[in-house]
Amino acid sequence: QTLAEANVKLLEPYDTVKVSKIPDGIYLRSINDPDDIIWERLPEYRVEMNPAFAAHESVELRINYDAETTQLYMTLARTSERFYVRLRWVDDTRDTATTFGRFRDGAAVQFSLGDDETSPVMGDGPENAVNIWYWRADDNSVQNLAAGGPGSTTLLDEQPVTGEAMYFENDGDPNEWVVVMSRALVSEGAHTASFDRDIVPMGFAIWQGAEQQRDGLKTVLDGWVLLDMSAD
Ligand code: HEM
């Protein structure tokens, strides 16, 4: 465990975490600025990410269950208008294109549209769907998706989620991606997660492009983190 890890609280699946409130009148330099000083003032947490189990055979052939768990660092915040998640993780290489044997880096968060009984494996059927925000390093955009289990990922008509990423080549320390995604708290549309709830179950996925990760081949949090939205 590095010093950086020791200073950041580890969240286990099904832990509750309070979403920080950014006071009214405080603004980021730009809407999703990954490098804004505000992030240093808010608590950061981490979760341990493990390879997603093989949902189909082609994943089984490529998966490396012995791979070390990776750490995903996160800051969870809201203003009176928007919800923000800032993700940070070590990645030696910046993969922004899909070429032979290499794929783009990516990150996604998912929200249960119901409670934490919904499957954290991207939901389970149309009645137990999830809303996914999916950032990809190739076009640096965030897609607003819905899924009711692996293989059912659908691009939604409404695209209210925005994001921005920065890749830091750190002198002496490992390189890392920092990605901020955000959305207005109030957003219309089918399969759009509501933040007007006491508890919002949230999940996480990371794709390391240099390790051929794409689709189901990725690291995930095995379960939900329960967002406590009550801060004011
Ligand atoms: C054990 C857990 C999981 C398994 C077994 C799994 C499996 C899969 C499979 C088989 C696919 C390819 C078919 C498709 O596009 O639907 C896929 C794609 C995808 N998954 Fe998952 N998944 C898991 C967890 C997650 C989590 C936690 C998230 C988000 C936080 C997520 C987000 C996505 C996204 C965005 C895609 C589309 C990727 C692309 O277009 O390259 N998954 N997953």
Q: Please indicate whether residue 203, judged by its CB atom, sits closer than 6 Å to ligand 1.
A: yes
Q: Say what the pLDDT of residue 66 is.
A: 57
Closest protein CA for atom 37 of ligand 1: 215
Confidence of residue 70 (pLDDT cuts 50, 70, 90): confident
Residue 59's pLDDT is what? 61
Say which DSSP state 7 is in.
T
Q: How many CB atoms lie within 10 A of CB 221?
A: 24
Cα(119) to ligand 1 centroid in Å equals 12
| Residue 91 Cα to ligand 1 middle (Å) | 20
Return the CATH fold of 3-228: Immunoglobulin-like (2.60.40)
- pLDDT tens for residues 121-138? 999 999 999 999 999 999
Is ligand 1 within 6 A of the CB of residue 151?
yes
Q: Mean of the per-residue pLDDT values for the chain?
A: 92
ipTM (interface pTM): 0.90
Distance CA 84, CA 90 (A): 20
Buried b (16+ CB within 10 A) or exposed e, 68-102: eebbbbbbbbbbeebbbbbbbbbbeebbeeeeeee
Per-residue pLDDT, 69? 72
Instruction: Pick the more confident residue, 76 or 231.
Output: 76
Parallel/antiparallel/unpaired status of strands 45-51 and 70-78:
antiparallel
Contact 90, 175 (CB under 8 A): yes
Segments making up each domain of the chain, as ranges: 3-228
pLDDT over threshold 60, residue 3? no
